[in-house]
Amino acid sequence: MTPLARGVEQAGFDELWLVEDCFFAGGIAAAATALAVTERVKVGIGILPAVARNAAFTAMELAALAEAHPRRLIAGMGHGMPDWMRQIGAAPASPLTALAEHLDAVRALLAGETVSTRGRYVQLDGVRLEFPPPVPPPVVAGVRGPKSLEVSGRHADGTLLAEPATPAYIAAARRAIAEGHSDPRRPHRIGVYTWFHVDEDPDRARAALRPAIAAVVTEPSWAAHLAPLDFGEQIREMADLSAEERAVALPDSWIDELAVVGTPEDCAKRIDELYRAGADAVVLCPPGDVPTQLDRAGRTLLPLLDAAGH
């Protein structure tokens, strides 16, 4: 974690996002490490499964990080992958209600409020943090489908979209978020994850991403991402193929649509398209050789983005 965090900051990136997938490193401990060994870069947790922790203890942990590192923490919460939540005995009967209740409670506690609630999943009796952070961190929801995006618009400070985040999916997500976000005075930041590989040889860049995309793109959880795409149904029809067969069968144009891939100029153009579609932050997710991609992006891509005003 330490080399990664320092490398991201030294390369000139604005943010470092960390996952809490089962059963990797814990997201809060990882974020604490990354914040402690850097000075400038913001650190996002994307995401904490809401139902895996008590809302009060989630708020306590986030408050401690936010107080120690003011304005550098972005806290992401979400449903958690259904299979993983069932595996740990935490799958809720109503994921939407569970997430909404946790978001409301955690945000209120971080704001220094005294919270009493008898919800379906969150029960608190006069709970108030002894050390609320002077500047509460934004709490964003990492969600995918229309109903969850509406919950995010209503109950979170922002939304984090998983990969593949195409311009069409971002536009569709913004419409769903708007169903729950009716107050223009309350900002709602949208961050997007995207598969990423930069190389002076575009074919070599695509080849590096094929296995990662092919391994997951037909899973049911990706349906919302594919629905706005012209070739979404064709991808779903590839579900009976092996991952290796899908990797070979994916057309170059599909990979270009599903990822930020190619030369530095190709990547800069695609990132600009994501911003124009409504993203406020683009999180590059390189499968494989992260140190090499981090170095290349810092040297060849970030100058192009800076010149374009991103």
Residue range 91-144, pLDDT digits in tens = 999 999 999 999 999 999 999 999 999 999 999 999 999 999 999 999 999 999
My answer on whether 281 and 170 are in the same domain is yes
Based on the domain organization, do 49 and 158 belong to the same domain?
no
- Given 142, 168, 192, the domain boundary residue is 142
Q: pLDDT band for position 79 (50/70/90)?
A: very high
Contacts 24+ apart (CB under 8 A), 271-278: 271/305, 271/310, 272/308, 272/310, 273/167, 274/165, 274/167, 274/170, 274/192, 274/194, 275/310, 276/167, 277/166, 277/167, 277/168, 277/170, 277/171, 278/170, 278/171, 278/173, 278/174, 278/190
The pLDDT of residue 149 is above 90: yes
**244-257 tens-digit pLDDT:** 999 999 999 999 99
Confidence bin at 310 (pLDDT 50/70/90): confident
- 304, 155: one domain: yes
Would the pTM of this model clear 0.75, i.e. be above it? yes
Sorting pLDDT into bands at 50, 70 and 90, what band is 3?
very high
Instruction: Read off the CATH number of the domain in which 70 is found.
Output: 3.20.20.30
Express each pLDDT in 17-49 by its tens digit. Answer: 999 999 999 999 999 999 999 999 999 999 999
Strands 189-198 and 259-262: parallel
In this prediction, residue 198 has a pLDDT band, given cuts at 50, 70 and 90, of very high
Same domain, 75 and 187: no
State the CB neighbour count (10 A cutoff) for residue 268. Answer: 23
Residue 27 domain boundaries: 1-142
Q: Among residues 90, 107, 142, which one ends one of the domains?
A: 142
Residues 69 and 13 in one domain: yes
- Asked if residue 26 and residue 134 are part of one domain, the reply reads yes
Domain count, the chain: 2
